[in-house]
């Protein structure tokens, strides 16, 4: 995970262009939606919701602007960051509703998990306390949620009991589910990411990617994702929604929710709910000094993996000369977010492919000793190289400065391995 650095001079321009475009797009979508609803004249809730969105657009310093240009800090700390801001009430209500549905489903699932432990006889007679108690609990839960549950401990079989539970779940969540589905549908139609992607002449995903000028995937640091807009064709990185639009549709066009990334990372992340399962947010977080890539020989623990390694591969001395693949690339795991990043993007698995790159660094470290680099420096500076740093960078492709890690693929791996081998640029 590498920090996204945006050119400071360009940032205001990007924000202005992005907001102007999205405002126009959203206004247009709202007006069309209102007309469509009026023509059908049956959807009262939909009408009031879209009218409410329209009003929000018209206020100075509108909510729309606050959503589209939500700053990185607020996005990083979402949803806590907006909890006490009444202008975000509709989002908070939406999230509360989502939460309520989830809680109810979890609660019912808890009861469902008890089903396999009932014996046939228990179901028939209901005489065992277990079923009676469970039914009482469910009845109480149903009443608390303004529903009902009429059965009291007598069931012919487990299937019948399960069906009742499922009916109860639908009765309790159905109204809220329909409401949330409708709001989500309207928000996705209005915060219309598809139009933004398809746009050809105006500001679009292509222009945004080009202005952001991100050349390496910030999630994996393994793929180039530079943008091309030329006479011969166009290409751009995918834009991952950090908070997925399928769950948080109001962020579908939010500038700093769009992360230029490679296809594999975008695909691997998919619909993962990053509010519930936090990962590092590349506009403000990265694998900094606290997270290190290391290359180490296999140890006894590695023998327990499925493909058991032959004994001789444990202490393969050829590793120290860059002549062996009998080693493992690891990423330190110091907190939950880093662990989630590793798992979401399969980072450790993918990085095993780069053993060849680590081996090259090891060999270069043997050949290019400090005195040899000094020799090159004395022979070629300042005619060919401006500094010793430039020579080290040429040999190892290593960037000492964390600010520059986003310019090259594998820069963090390279830096950490070079640090371990005590290769310094100074």
Output the DSSP codes for 174-207: HHHHHHHHHHHHHHHHHS-HHHHHH-SSSS-HHH
* Of 115 and 264, CB closest to Zn ion: 264
Site string for Zn ion, 87-126 (x = CB under 5 A): ----------------------------------------
Angle of helix 8-40 relative to helix 44-58, nearest 10 degrees, comes to 150
Q: With the CA atoms of 147, 162, 180 and 96 taken in that order, what torsion angle do they form, in degrees rounded to the nearest 10?
A: 70
- Which among 74-82, 115-123, 263-271, 307-315 is the span making contact with Zn ion, rule CB under 5 A? 263-271
Q: Using a CB cutoff of 8 Å and minimum separation of 24, what contacts does 3-6 make?
A: 3/218, 3/282, 3/283, 3/284, 3/285, 3/286, 3/402, 3/405, 3/406, 4/212, 4/214, 4/218, 4/259, 4/260, 4/282, 4/283, 4/406, 5/403, 5/406, 6/212, 6/213
220 contributes a contact to Zn ion by CB under 5 A: yes
What residues pair up with 224 in beta bridges, in sequence order?
216
> Of 275, 264, 296, nearest to 77 (Cα)?
275
Residue from 104, 131, 168, 265 touching Zn ion (CB under 5 A): that is: 265
Nearer to Zn ion by Cβ, of 217 and 391: the residue is 217
* Least distance to Zn ion, CB of residue 347, Å: 9
Determine the interface stretch with Zn ion among 81-89, 95-103, 254-262, 321-329 (rule: CB under 5 A): 254-262
Axis-axis angle for helices 370-380, 388-396 (nearest 10): 120
For residues 210 and 235, give the distance between their C-alpha atoms in angstroms, rounded to a whole number. 10
Pattern 282-311, Zn ion, x by CB under 5 A: ------------------------------
| In the complex, minimum distance from the CB of residue 262 to Zn ion, in angstroms, rounded to a whole number | 3
Size of the site for Zn ion (CB under 5 A): 5
198-217: which residues touch Zn ion (CB under 5 A)?
Answer: 217
CB of 261 to Zn ion, least distance (A): 5
Q: Kindly state the smallest distance separating residue 222's Cβ from Zn ion, in Å.
A: 6
Of 74 and 223, nearer to Zn ion (C-beta) is 223
Give, as one character, the DSSP assignment of residue 316: -
The minimum distance between CB 225 and Zn ion, in angstroms, equals 8
Residue 262 near Zn ion by CB under 5 A:
yes
Stretch that binds Zn ion, among 49-57, 256-264, 313-321, 365-373 (CB under 5 A): 256-264
Q: Are strands 258-261 and 327-331 parallel, antiparallel or unpaired?
A: unpaired
Cβ at position 406, least distance to Zn ion in Å = 12
* Beta carbon of residue 282, minimum distance to Zn ion (angstroms, whole number): 10
If binding is defined by CB under 5 A, does position 138 make contact with Zn ion? no
Neighbouring CB atoms inside 10 A of 71's CB total 13
Q: Which residues of this chain interact with Zn ion, rule CB under 5 A? A: 217, 219-220, 262, 265
């Amino acid at each position: 995970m590498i920090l996204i650095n945006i050119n400071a001079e360009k940032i205001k321009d990007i924000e202005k262009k992005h907001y102007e475009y999205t405002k126009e797009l959203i206004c247009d979508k709202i007006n069309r939606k209102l007309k469509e609803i009026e023509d059908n004249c049956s959807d009262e809730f939909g009408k009031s919701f879209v009218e409410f969105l329209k009003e929000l657009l018209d206020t100075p310093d509108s909510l729309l602007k606050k959503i589209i240009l939500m700053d990185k800090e607020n996005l990083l700390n979402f949803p806590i960051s907006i909890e006490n801001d009444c202008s975000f009430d509709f989002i908070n209500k939406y999230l509360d509703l989502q939460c309520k549905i989830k809680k109810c489903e979890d609660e019912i699932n808890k009861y469902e998990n008890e089903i396999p432990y009932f014996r046939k006889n228990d179901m028939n007679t209901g005489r065992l306390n277990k079923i009676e108690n469970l039914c009482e609990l469910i009845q109480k839960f149903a009443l608390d949620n303004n529903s009902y549950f009429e059965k009291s401990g007598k069931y012919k079989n487990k299937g019948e009991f399960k069906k009742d539970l499922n009916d109860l779940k639908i009765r309790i969540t159905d109204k809220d589910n329909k409401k949330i589905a409708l709001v989500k549908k309207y928000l996705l139609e209005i915060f219309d990411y598809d139009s933004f992607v398809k746009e050809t002449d105006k500001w679009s995903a292509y222009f945004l990617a080009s202005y952001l000028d991100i050349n390496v995937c910030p999630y994996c640091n393994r793929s180039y994702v530079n943008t091309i807009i030329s006479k011969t064709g166009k290409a751009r990185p995918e834009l991952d929604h950090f908070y997925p639009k399928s769950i948080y549709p109001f962020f579908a066009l939010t500038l700093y929710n769009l992360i230029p990334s490679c296809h594999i990372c975008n695909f691997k992340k998919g619909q993962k709910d990053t509010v519930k399962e936090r990962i590092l947010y590349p506009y403000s977080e990265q694998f900094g000094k606290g997270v290190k890539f290391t290359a180490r020989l296999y140890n006894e623990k590695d023998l327990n993996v499925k493909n058991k390694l032959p004994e001789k591969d444990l202490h393969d001395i050829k590793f120290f000369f860059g002549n062996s693949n009998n080693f493992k690339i690891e990423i330190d795991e110091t907190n939950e977010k880093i662990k989630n990043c590793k798992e979401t993007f399969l980072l450790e698995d993918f990085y095993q492919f780069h053993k060849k790159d680590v081996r090259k660094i090891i060999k270069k470290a043997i050949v290019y000793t400090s005195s040899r680099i000094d020799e090159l420096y004395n022979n070629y500076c300042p005619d060919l190289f401006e500094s010793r740093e430039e020579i080290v960078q040429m040999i190892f492709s290593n960037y000492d400065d964390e600010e520059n890690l986003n310019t090259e693929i594998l820069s963090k791996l390279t830096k950490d391995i070079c640090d371990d081998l005590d290769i310094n640029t100074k």
